[in-house]
Amino acid sequence: MTAAVPGVPAVRSWVRLPVAAAFFAALGGVLLLPEVLSVYQIYLALEVLIFGLAATSLNLLVGYAGMVSFGHAAYFGAASYCAALAMKYAGVSMWTALLVAPLGSTVLAFVYGIFCVRLSRIYFAMLTLAFAQLTYTVAFQWYGVTGGDTGLLGVMPADAIAEPQTYFRFTALVVAACIAVLYAVVRSPFGLTLRSIQQNRVRVELLGVNPYLYQLGAFVIAGFFAGVAGALYAFEKGAVFPDYLSLGHSLKFILMTLLGGFTVFLGPLLGALVFELLNSVLTNYTQYWQLPLAVCLAAVILFAPSGLSGLFLRKR
C-alpha cells in the first residue's frame, strides 16, 4: 500500500500536462487575435477578458464558497479609482498605478469582509450590496476628489502599450496569469476546504477548522482579482466613472457567472464571452436589446441551471 503512494504525484503531473498544454495553446490563440480583428472587435474582446476575470473572481465566492455577493463591483470600481487617483494626485506611472490599484481593492475587501462574512445567505448578499452602494455614493458625491458624476479623465496606458493591439496582448497575459493563480487557489487545500465549508460547515468546524477565516480569505482574494480587472478596465477606457461601482456592474458579473456556469471553473469566462457577444449583436438590431438578452438569460437559467458549460461538463 505504501509503495503506491510515491506514484500519486507522478500520476497527477501527467494529468496536469494536457491542462497546461491546452492553457498555453488557448493563450497563444488569444494573443494572435489582434491580427484578424478590427479595432472595435479588439475593444470588445478586451471587455470579454476583463469582465471574464472579474466574474471568475466572483465565482470563487459563488461557486466554491457558497457566498453570493451583490457588491462585487465595489472592488472592481475601487481599483479603477485607485489607479486614476494615484496617477492624478501622486503622479505615478501607469505601471505603478496598476500595482497599487489591486492593493486598494484588497484592503477594501478585507474591511468589508470582516463584517459581511459573519453573515450568510440573503443577509450576506444584502450586506455586500449595502457596502457597494455606500462606496458608489462616496464616489458619486465626493466631487473634490473623485470628480463626482464627471469622473476622472486621462487614465491612459503607458506609451509602450498604448496601441489597442499591444494593450490587448498585455491584458491577455495579465488575465491569463490571474486565471492560472485562481485555478491554483481552487485546486489547493485552501480551495478544497472552502468547498467543504460550503457542503457541511458544521462538520468542518468539528474538525477544528475556522470557517470564518477561510471565507474571509476567499473574500479578500476575490476582491484582489476584481481589482486587477478594474484597473485594466480603467486604462482601457481612459477614464473612471462612478458607474464602475454600480449595482449594474455587480449584476453583470453575477449574470455572466450564471450564464457560463458556476459549477465549472472557466464557466464565468464563457459567460462573459456570450454575454458581450449577445450585447454587441443585439444592439445593432434593436434599441430594446435588453429584452431579447433577458429572454436568453432566462432560458439558460430555466433549462440549463448549471450554465452553458454545464451542458458539456457535469463536474469541475
Averaged pLDDT for residues 193-211: 88
In a domain, 137, yes or no: yes
* Collapsed DSSP state (helix, strand, coil) of residue 276: helix
Is 250 inside a domain boundary?
yes
Domain assignment of residue 260, given as a range: 33-312
Q: How far apart are CA 169 and CA 39, in angstroms?
A: 13
Question: Could you report the per-residue pLDDT of 16-67, keeping only the tens digit for each?
Answer: 666 677 777 888 888 888 888 889 999 999 999 999 999 999 999 998 988 9
How high is the pLDDT of residue 4?
38
Q: Report if residue 267 sits inside a domain.
A: yes
In a domain, 20, yes or no: no
% of the chain beyond a pLDDT of 90: 54
What 8-state DSSP symbol labels residue 92? -
Arithmetic mean of pLDDT, 88-112: 93
Question: How far is Cα 181 from Cα 164, in angstroms, rounded to an integer?
Answer: 26
pLDDT at position 19 is 67
**pTM, whole model, 2 decimals?**
0.89
Give 228-251 pLDDT, tens digit per residue. 999 999 999 989 999 999 998 999
Q: What whole-number distance in Å separates Cα of residue 116 and Cα of residue 131?
A: 9
Number of folded domains that form the chain = 1
Give the separation between CA 43 and CA 280, rounded to whole angstroms. Answer: 11
- C-alpha cell read off for 230: 478594474
Which value, in Å, is the radius of gyration of the alpha carbons in the chain? 20
25, part of any domain = no
| 226 to 30, 37, 93, 245, 310: CA distances (angstroms) | 21, 26, 21, 12, 24
9 belongs to a structural domain: no
Mean pLDDT of the chain: 87
Cα 217 off chain centre by:
16
For residue 264, give the CATH number of its domain: 1.10.3470
List Cα–Cα distances, 73 to 87, 105, 131, 134, 220, in angstroms: 21, 10, 10, 12, 14
Look at residue 1 in the predicted model and tell me its pLDDT.
Answer: 38
Q: Is residue 116 part of a domain?
A: yes
In a domain, 262, yes or no: yes
pLDDT for the residue 14:
41
Band of the pLDDT at 306, cuts 50, 70, 90? confident
Q: What is the pLDDT at residue 5?
A: 35
Residue 254 exposure: Cα atoms within 13 Å on the Cβ side: 15
Burial class (CB in 10 A: 0-12, 13-18, 19+), 289: middle
Q: How many CB atoms lie within 10 A of CB 90?
A: 10
